[in-house]
Amino acid sequence: MHPPKGVLGTSDGVVKSTAMTAVSRLGEIRLSEKITAYIDGGSRGNPGPAAAGFLLKDEDNKIVAAKGFFLGETTNNIAEYTAIIKALEKAGKLAAKKITVFSDSELLVRQINGQYKVKNDNIRILFKQAVDLLNKFEDWHVQHITREKNSRADNLVNQALNLQQDVEINGAEKPTKPPVRLGVLISGGGRTLINIAEQIESGLLNAEIPLVISSRSTVAGVERAGAAGLNVKIIRTKDYPDVEQFSKRIEQELVEAGIELVIQAGWLCLWRIPPAFTNRVMNIHPALLPSFGGKGMWGHFVHEAVLAAGCKVSGCTVHFCTNEYDKGPIIVQRCCPVKDDDTPDTLAARVFEQECIAYPQAIKLFAEGRLVVEDSKVKKINSIVSSEKKIKE
C-alpha cells in the first residue's frame, strides 16, 4: 500500500507529513521539496579577508538554514562560488528536489547558465563542483538579483568577516534565550528601524519590537512601522509643558511594554533617561565619536563637518546614551573611507551601510549578555553575564 500523495511513508509504517520536522540528535531538519537559496560572497581587498554566506527558505517562505563562512584570504569570485557550493550541499542534506538560487554576482550567474566561459583554473574547479551539485536536483534555476534584494545573505557574510569566524542560524532551531524586547525611538524616515526589523525577521537577531515611539506624527517612519505591523505611539515634545513631563511619558510607555533595551534610531529629541534605564539606551551616530558629536550634529551636518575637516576616514558609532548629546560608553565603531569627490549625500550612503551592520551587532552583544560597563567604558566578554552586571554603572 502506498501512502497518500503529499505524505512520506516510513519503515515502521508510520505516515508523516513532508512539512513536519525530522528530528535527529544533531537537531531539527525541516524537509522541503523545493528550496530557495540566497547566496553571497566577498572579500575586503580581493584578495583579502573573505567570507561566503547562504540563506535557505522552504516552500512556506520560512528560513530553514542560514550560515556565514569565514574563508581567510581569498578573492571575491572564490567566495561567491564557495557560497553556492555550501548552499547546494545544505539543500541536498534537506532532501530538496528542486532549487532556485539567487545571487547578486552577475558573473557567477552567467557562468553557471553557460553565457560566460570560466577562464580561471581555480574557479573552473569550483564551477564544475557547483554544476555537479546542481545536476543532482530534479530542477534548478540560478538567477541574478540586485544587492538590495540580497541583504540577508550579505549580512551573514559581513558577520563572518567582522567576527572572523563562521556564524550560523538555523530556522528550525529555537533560540536558547527569549528575544530581547526592544523599544525603538524614531523622528524621521525609519530606515534604521526597518533594517533592525529585517534582521529579526531573517533570524539573524534574537529580538522583538513590541513598541515604536515617534516624536513626529507625519514622518515616513510611522508609515513604515505601521506597514511592518509594529505598535507605534506618537509622543511629541510640543504636547508636554517641559522635558521632564515628556520624558516621564516615554518612560511610562517603555515600562508598560516591558522594554529591556531602547534603540534610538534617528531620534532627534532630548529626553531625560531615568536611572532604571542606565546603560539600556543605545544610539547610533554617523561619525567616529568623540569627533563630530554634540548638539546640532546630526544627519548632513555631521557629514558636512567631516568633509570640511578633510578627514580621510569616517564611520559610525553605537554607544550607550547618557543625558548629554553623543556621550556615553562606546559599544561598536565601524569605519569607511572618505573619497576626494564625496558629497554629504555620497558619504552618508557609505556610512549608512556601516550603520546597518554596527547597530544589529551591538544589539546582539547586549541580548547575549556580553557587554559590561566599567569606569564608563564598555568591555565585551565572551561568556554570558547576568543582566544585573551587564547594566551596572
Q: Where are the domains of the chain?
A: 29-169, 180-390
**Domain boundaries 29-169, corresponding CATH code:** 3.30.420.10
At 178-236, the pLDDT tens digits run 899 999 999 999 999 999 998 888 777 889 999 999 999 999 999 999 999 999 999 99
pLDDT for position 277: 94
Query: Beta strand pairing status for 207-214 and 232-234?
Result: parallel
When mean pLDDT is compared across 1-5, 214-218, 238-242, 361-365, the lowest value belongs to: 1-5
Give yes or no for a contact between 39 and 57, defined as CB atoms under 8 angstroms apart.
no
User: Which residue, 115, 112, 61, is CA-closest to 83?
Assistant: 112
User: Which residue, 360, 338, 316, is CA-closest to 158?
Assistant: 360
**For residue 29, pLDDT beyond 80:** no
Give yes or no for a contact between 231 and 181, defined as CB atoms under 8 angstroms apart.
no
Given pLDDT bands bounded at 50, 70 and 90, which one contains residue 131?
very high
**For residue 239, pLDDT beyond 90:** yes
Percent of the chain with pLDDT over 70: 87
Give yes or no for a contact between 49 and 73, defined as CB atoms under 8 angstroms apart.
yes
Whole-number Å distance between alpha carbons of 29 and 125: 30
Determine which one of 2, 141, 144, 285 is catalytic: 285
Task: Please list the residues that pair with 317 across neighbouring strands.
Answer: 285, 333
At 136-177, the pLDDT tens digits run 999 999 999 998 889 889 888 988 887 778 888 755 444 457
Average pLDDT taken over every residue of the chain: 85
Q: Average pLDDT, stretch 355-383? A: 86
Considering just the CA atoms, what is the radius of gyration of the chain in Å? Answer: 23
Identical fold between 29-169 and 180-390:
no
**What secondary structure letter does DSSP report for 180?**
E
Percent of the chain with pLDDT over 90: 66
**Residue 344, all three cell numbers:** 554629504
pLDDT for position 27: 37
Given pLDDT bands bounded at 50, 70 and 90, which one contains residue 19?
very low
285 included as an active-site residue: yes
- Range 112-137 burial, b when 16+ CB lie within 10 A, else e: beeeeebeeeebeebbebbbebbeeb
**Residue 220, all three cell numbers:** 515616513
At 36-94, the pLDDT tens digits run 999 999 998 888 899 999 999 998 888 889 999 999 999 999 999 999 999 999 999 98
Is the pTM above the cut of 0.75?
no
**For residue 12, pLDDT beyond 50:** no
pLDDT for position 170: 56
pLDDT for position 25: 30
pLDDT for position 31: 57
pLDDT for position 382: 58
**For residue 252, pLDDT beyond 80:** yes
**What secondary structure letter does DSSP report for 174?**
P
What is 180-390's CATH topology?
Rossmann fold (3.40.50)
Supply angle C-alpha 158, 164, 166, rounded to 5.
Answer: 80
Whole-number Å distance between alpha carbons of 104 and 147: 5
Give yes or no for a contact between 84 and 109, defined as CB atoms under 8 angstroms apart.
no
CB atoms within 10 A of CB 107: 16
Q: Which amino acid is at 267?
A: W
**For residue 3, pLDDT beyond 70:** no
In angstroms, how far is CA 290 from the centroid of its own chain? 25
Given pLDDT bands bounded at 50, 70 and 90, which one contains residue 258?
very high
Given pLDDT bands bounded at 50, 70 and 90, which one contains residue 11?
very low
At 297-353, the pLDDT tens digits run 888 899 999 999 999 999 999 999 999 888 899 999 999 999 999 999 999 999 999
